[in-house]
Amino acid sequence: MRFITTAALIAAFSCATAVSQLAQRTGAVPKSQSTEFLDKASKKIDRLVGADFRRKQIRPIGKANDAEFLRRAYLNSVGRIPSYDEAVEFLNNEDPKKRDTLINSLLGSYGYNMHMFNWWADLLRATDTFEDTSGAPYIKWIKDSIAENKSYKTMVHELISATGGGWQNGAVGYYVRDKGMLKDNMANTTRIFLGTRIECAQCHNHPFDSWKQMDFYQMAAFTNGIKTAKSYLSDYLEDKEDMDGVSRELRDVSRLIRYAVYDFSIQDTGTGTIKLPKDYKYRDGDPGERIGAKSLSQFGKTVKVSTRSKSTDPGKSRTRFADWLVSPDNPRFTKVIANRIWKRVMGTGLFEPLDNFSSASEPSNSALMSYLEELLIDLDYDLLAFQKVLYKTYSFQLSPNTIQHPERSPYHFNGRQLKRLSAEQIWDSLLTLKINDPDKRLGNGYTGDAIMYRGRPVLVGKKSMKDLYKEVMSLESGTEVWDYTKGLHDQIKSDKGIKGGGGENMGMMMAYNAGKKYGNDMRASELRSPMPNGHFLRQFGQSNREVIENSSTDSDVTQILSILNGHVERHLISNGNSKIFQTIKAAKSDEQKIERAFISILSRFPSADEKKIFLEEYELNGSAATNNMVSALISTGEFMFVQ
Amino acid sequence: MPDSTIFNKGDEVSRRQFMIGAARNCLGVSVLPMLGSTLATNETFAAAPPMRRGAAKSVIFLNMAGGMSHLDTFDPKPDNDEVQGPTPVIDTSADNVRISGFLPKTASVMKHVTLLRGMQTNQGAHEQGQYLLHRSYPMRGTIVHPALGAWVMRLSGRRNTTIPGFVSIGGSAENATGGFMGAKFGGVPLGSANDGLKDSKRAHSVSESDFNRRLQLADKMNSTFHGKFKQKQIKTYHGLYDEAIKLMTSEDLKAFDLNHEDIKVRDMYGQNGFGQGCLLARRLVEHHVRFVEVSLGGWDTHNDNFVSVESRCQILDSALAGLISDLERRGLLDSTLVALGTEFGRTPDINENTGRDHFPRAFSGLMAGGGVKGGFVYGETDRKAHTVKEGIVTPGMFNATIGHALGLPTERVVTSPSGRPFTIGDEAKPVKEIFA
Q: Residue B245's closest chain A neighbor by CA?
A: A561
Return the number of other C-beta atoms located less than 10 Å from residue A246's C-beta. 14
Residue B25 has a pLDDT of 35
User: Could you tell me where in chain B the CATH 3.40.720.10 domains are found?
Assistant: 58-194+255-434
Closest by alpha carbon to A141, among A129, A157, A158, A153?
A158
Whole-angstrom distance, CA of residue A96 vs CA of residue A88: 16
B25 or B325: which leads in pLDDT = B325
pLDDT digit string, tens, across residues A21-48: 444 455 578 999 999 999 999 999 999 9
pLDDT digit string, tens, across residues A187-201: 999 999 999 988 878
User: Residue A7: pLDDT above 70?
Assistant: no
Report how far Cα B79 is from the mean position of its chain's Cα atoms: 37
Concatenating the DSSP letter of every residue in A533-566 gives: TTSHHHHTT---SSSTT-------HHHHHHHHHS
Closest by alpha carbon to A6, among A342, A367, A341, A400?
A367
Average pLDDT, rounded, for chain A: 88
Partner-chain residue, chosen from A402, A627, A632, that has the shortest CB–CB distance to B221: A632
pLDDT digit string, tens, across residues A128-164: 888 777 888 999 999 999 999 999 999 999 999 999 9
Partner-chain residue, chosen from A356, A404, A636, that has the shortest CB–CB distance to B418: A356
User: Residue B235: pLDDT above 80?
Assistant: yes
Supply angle C-alpha A543, A549, A550, rounded to 5.
40
Q: Is A625 exposed, middle or buried (0-12, 13-18, 19+ CB in 10 A)?
A: buried
Whole-angstrom distance, CA of residue A191 vs CA of residue B143: 12
A18 or A245: which leads in pLDDT = A245
Whole-angstrom distance, CA of residue A448 vs CA of residue A137: 8
Average pLDDT, rounded, for chain B: 87
Please judge whether B213 and A624 are an interchain contact, meaning their C-beta atoms are less than 8 angstroms apart.
yes
Please judge whether A613 and B238 are an interchain contact, meaning their C-beta atoms are less than 8 angstroms apart.
no
Residue B1 has a pLDDT of 32
Please judge whether B225 and A636 are an interchain contact, meaning their C-beta atoms are less than 8 angstroms apart.
yes
Residue B27 at interface with chain A, using a CB cutoff of 8 Å: no
Contacts of residue A38, defined as CB under 8 A and 6 or more positions apart, other chains included, come to: A31, A32, A385, A388, A389, A392
Q: Are A565 and B201 in contact (CB under 8 A)?
A: yes
Please judge whether B240 and A638 are an interchain contact, meaning their C-beta atoms are less than 8 angstroms apart.
no
Contacts of B240 in chain A (CB under 8 A): 555-557, 559-560
Contacts of A404 in chain B (CB under 8 A): 229, 231-233
- Residue B206 Cα, gap to closest chain A Cα (Å): 9
Give B 156-185 residues with CB within 8 A of chain A. 164, 172-174, 182-184
Residue B303 has a pLDDT of 84
Query: How sure is the predictor about A489, in pLDDT bands with cuts at 50, 70 and 90?
Result: very high
B306-332: average pLDDT? 97
Return the number of other C-beta atoms located less than 10 Å from residue B390's C-beta. 10
Please judge whether B144 and A187 are an interchain contact, meaning their C-beta atoms are less than 8 angstroms apart.
no
User: Residue A514: pLDDT above 80?
Assistant: no
Please judge whether A638 and B172 are an interchain contact, meaning their C-beta atoms are less than 8 angstroms apart.
no
User: Residue A239: pLDDT above 70?
Assistant: no
Residue A456 has a pLDDT of 83
Contacts of B224 in chain A (CB under 8 A): 609-610
Taking each helix axis from N to C end, the angle separating A331-346 and A182-194, rounded to the nearest 10 degrees, works out to 70
Judged by average pLDDT, the poorest of A146-150, A377-381, A557-561, B89-93 is A557-561
Supply angle C-alpha A160, A163, A167, rounded to 5.
115
Please judge whether A624 and B229 are an interchain contact, meaning their C-beta atoms are less than 8 angstroms apart.
no
- DSSP 8-state assignment for residue B28: S
Residue B22 at interface with chain A, using a CB cutoff of 8 Å: no
Residue B38 at interface with chain A, using a CB cutoff of 8 Å: no
Q: Are A593 and A626 in contact (CB under 8 A)?
A: yes
Report how far Cα A463 is from the mean position of its chain's Cα atoms: 31
User: Residue A429: pLDDT above 90?
Assistant: yes
Please judge whether A554 and B221 are an interchain contact, meaning their C-beta atoms are less than 8 angstroms apart.
no
State ipTM.
0.88
Residue B54 has a pLDDT of 61
pLDDT digit string, tens, across residues A534-547: 789 988 989 989 88
Contacts 24+ apart (CB under 8 A), A18-24: none
Query: How sure is the predictor about B11, in pLDDT bands with cuts at 50, 70 and 90?
Result: very low
pLDDT digit string, tens, across residues A52-61: 999 999 998 9
Alpha helices per DSSP H over A125-264: 136-147, 152-160, 173-176, 182-194, 213-220, 232-239, 248-255
A623 or B146: which leads in pLDDT = B146
B361 or B353: which leads in pLDDT = B361
User: Residue B76: pLDDT above 80?
Assistant: yes
Q: Residue A638's closest chain B neighbor by CA?
A: B225
Partner-chain residue, chosen from B183, B206, B233, that has the shortest CB–CB distance to A404: B233
Q: Residue A622's closest chain B neighbor by CA?
A: B210
A495-515: average pLDDT? 65
pTM (2 decimals)?
0.83
- Give me the residues paired with residue B368 across strands: B113, B338
Whole-angstrom distance, CA of residue A121 vs CA of residue A307: 35
Please judge whether A632 and B217 are an interchain contact, meaning their C-beta atoms are less than 8 angstroms apart.
yes
Q: Are B274 and B53 in contact (CB under 8 A)?
A: no
Residue A200 has a pLDDT of 77
Contacts of A540 in chain B (CB under 8 A): none
Residue B26 has a pLDDT of 36
Residue B413 at interface with chain A, using a CB cutoff of 8 Å: no
Residue A444 has a pLDDT of 83
Please judge whether B217 and A208 are an interchain contact, meaning their C-beta atoms are less than 8 angstroms apart.
no
Residue A313 has a pLDDT of 61
User: Residue A615: pLDDT above 90?
Assistant: yes
Please judge whether A534 and B144 are an interchain contact, meaning their C-beta atoms are less than 8 angstroms apart.
no
User: Residue A63: pLDDT above 90?
Assistant: yes
User: Phi and psi for A534 in degrees, rounded to 5?
Assistant: 95, -20
Please judge whether A541 and B183 are an interchain contact, meaning their C-beta atoms are less than 8 angstroms apart.
yes
Whole-angstrom distance, CA of residue A16 vs CA of residue A100: 7
Contacts of residue A75, defined as CB under 8 A and 6 or more positions apart, other chains included, come to: A81, A421, A425, A429, A642
Check if CATH label 3.40.190.10 holds for domain B58-194+255-434: no
Supply angle C-alpha A495, A501, A503, rounded to 5.
130
Residue type, A494: S
Residue B170 has a pLDDT of 86
Substitution target in A190, A560, A620 with the highest count of B β-carbons within 10 Å is A560
